Structure 1
Amino acid sequence: MYKIGYDVMGSDNGVEVAIQAASEFIKTRKELFLVFVGNEEEIKTALTKYKIDSNRFSIYPTTEFIDMHGSIMDIRRKRNSSMVKVLELLKAKEIDAMITAGNSAAFIAGSHFILGEIEGIKRAGFMPTIPTAIKNKVTLLLDVGANMECDEEDLLGFAKMATVYSQEVLKVSNPQTTLLNIGVEETKGTLLQKEAFKALSSDPFINFLGNMEAREILSGQVDIIITDGYTGNMALKSLEGSSKILMNEIKKELTSSFIKKIKALTLKKSFKAVSEKFDYKNHSGALLIGVDGIAFKSHGSSDVKSWKATLRMTCDAVENDVLNKIKRKAGNF
Structure 2
Amino acid sequence: MARIAIDLHGGDFGPSILIPACFRYFRANPQHHGVLFGNLNARQAFKHSCPANIEWIDTNDISDLAHKPAQLMRRDGFSSIETAFKALRDGQVDALVSAEHTGVLLVLVGKYGALHPALNRPVLAAWLPTLTGTAMMLDLGASFTANQQQLLTYAAVGKALASTGEANPRLSLLNVGAEYYKGPEALRLAHATLQGWSDIDYRGFIEASDIFSGQADVIVCDGFTGNSIIKASAGALDLTFALLKARLEHGLLKPLLAWWLKRQLTTVLKKLDPRLANGALVAGSNLLVVKSHGNANDRAFASAIERAVSALALDSTGKIRRELDKLVEKWPLD
Superposed pair shares fold, TM > 0.5: yes
Check whether the contact 1:166–1:172 (CA below 8 A) recurs between aligned residues. no
Q: 1:202 to 1:295 in 2, by over 3 A?
A: same
Higher mean alpha-carbon deviation, 102-111 vs 320-329, is at 320-329
Residue 268 (structure 1) shift: 1.7
User: Which SS does the other structure have where 2:34 is aligned?
Assistant: strand
Q: Shift of the alpha carbon at 1:325?
A: 2.4
Given that 1:12 and 1:68 are in contact with CA atoms closer than 8 Å, whether structure 2 keeps it comes out as no
Superposed counterparts of 1:105-124, under 5 Å = 105-124=103-122
Q: TM-score, normalised by structure 1?
A: 0.92
Match of 2:51 in 1: 52
Secondary structure class of the residue paired with 2:243: helix
2:125 alignment partner, one of 111, 120, 127: 127
**Aligned residue number for residue 214 of structure 2:** 220
What are the superposed Cα offsets for residues 159-208 of structure 1, whole Å, 9 maximum, x if unpaired?
A: 1111111125xx76321000000000111101121112122222223321
Structure 1 residue 150 corresponds to structure 2 residue 146: yes
Q: Which moved more, 1:211-220 or 1:108-117?
A: 108-117
Q: 1:64 to 1:196 in 2, by over 3 A?
A: same
Runs of 4+ in 1 over 3 A off after TM superposition: 66-69, 119-123
The corresponding residue for 2:181 is 187
Residues 23-47 of structure 1 show CA distances to partners (whole Å, capped at 9, x for unaligned) of 11113334311110111221x3243
- Cα pair 1:66 1:83 within 8 Å, conserved: no
In structure 1, what is the equivalent of residue 81 of structure 2?
83
Partner residue, 2:332 = none
Number of equivalences = 326
Instruction: Give the whole-Å Cα distance in 1 for the aligned partners of 2:326 and 2:265.
Output: 46
Residue 63 (structure 1) aligned to one of 33, 55, 60: 60
Partner of 2:6: 6
RMSD between aligned alpha carbons? Answer: 1.9
1:287 and 2:281 are equivalent in the alignment: yes
Partner of 2:230: 236
Letter aligned with residue 109 of structure 2: S
Structure 2: gaps spanning 5 or more residues: 328-334
User: How far has the Cα of 1:327 moved from its partner?
Assistant: 2.2
Does 1:316 find its partner at 2:315? no
Give the drift of 1:103: 2.1
Q: Distance in 2 between matches of 1:52 and 1:172?
A: 39
Q: Which amino acid aligns with 1:141?
A: M
TM-score computed with the length of structure 2 as normaliser:
0.91
Residues of 2 paired with 1:49 and 1:68: CA distance?
A: 33
Tell me how far 1:316 sits from its aligned partner: 0.3
Structure 1: tracts of 5 or more residues without a match: none
Q: CA 1:212/1:172 → structure 2, altered by over 3 Å: closer, same or farther?
A: farther
